[in-house]
Amino acid sequence: MILQKKEENRIPAHVGIIMDGNGRWAKQRNLPRSEGHKYGADVIEPLMDCAIELGVKAVSLYAFSVENWARPVSEVKGLWQLLEYFFKTKLDLIKDKDIQIRHSGSLKRLPSSTKNMIIKAVEETKKNKTIVLNFCVNYGGRQEIIKAVNDWLASAKPGEVITEKKLEKHLYTAGLPELDLLIRTSGEYRISNFLLWQLAYTELYFTDVLWPDFGPDDLRKAVAEFQKRERRFGGL
């Protein structure tokens, strides 16, 4: 695996990751699913270190979808506890590494303690500039687009016509770089309602590696594959 020279147009500015395979990873080891989620959370720190080293500007992690509410109550509760634990134990380190935390998704329905922890992390890192770590929690791509349209309608002047740029200002990802690369782990080949608007010209990368086993070398491999792609954006 050889990465090409770190040129701005050869390193994906914004990488999205569908973190899939925690449950299967745990099942293979006769562990409860909660252990898979715990090990999956431990992957984030070394991957962010690698992303910073590569020069990536933003990473969006699909942490909890609007569809995940259909999972068993005990598992959902465990995920909130894990997210809170992550921020409680990692927030100082995140600050030291100049990582800016962002949240994409609705804060509605979240436990108050989880919601407050997310708000705290976003507020206390908003001036950090090295890289953005965007947690997509209680997120759905279709829901994001509907919300953006409704937000625009609420602010639109009489007779005003919506445009792509106007709508994008109301997306959760407003201000982030274009999504260049989407990675999905665990061998599944679906988008699963993730960043639907942003995926228009994104390069897709699928790997059989389960999320808890996805390390820095796997990220470098994905970026190396990205660098081989010829991106024409509809042109010749």
CA distances in angstroms from 150 to 130, 160, 177, listed in the order given: 32, 14, 23
Catalytic residue check, 96: no
Chain mean position to CA 184? 11
User: Does residue 116 have an active-site annotation?
Assistant: no
Hunting for tokens 């933003």 — which residue is that?
58
Q: What share of the chain is helix, strand, coil (3-state, %, to 5)?
A: 45, 15, 40
End-to-end CA distance of the chain: 28
Backbone angles phi, psi at 212, to 5 degrees: -65, -20
Q: How many residues does the chain have?
A: 236
DSSP code, position 157: P
- Identify the active-site residue in 49, 68, 193, 213: 68
Is beta strand 131-139 parallel, antiparallel or unpaired with respect to 181-184? unpaired
* H or E element that contains 137: strand 131-139
Kindly list the catalytic residues.
20, 68
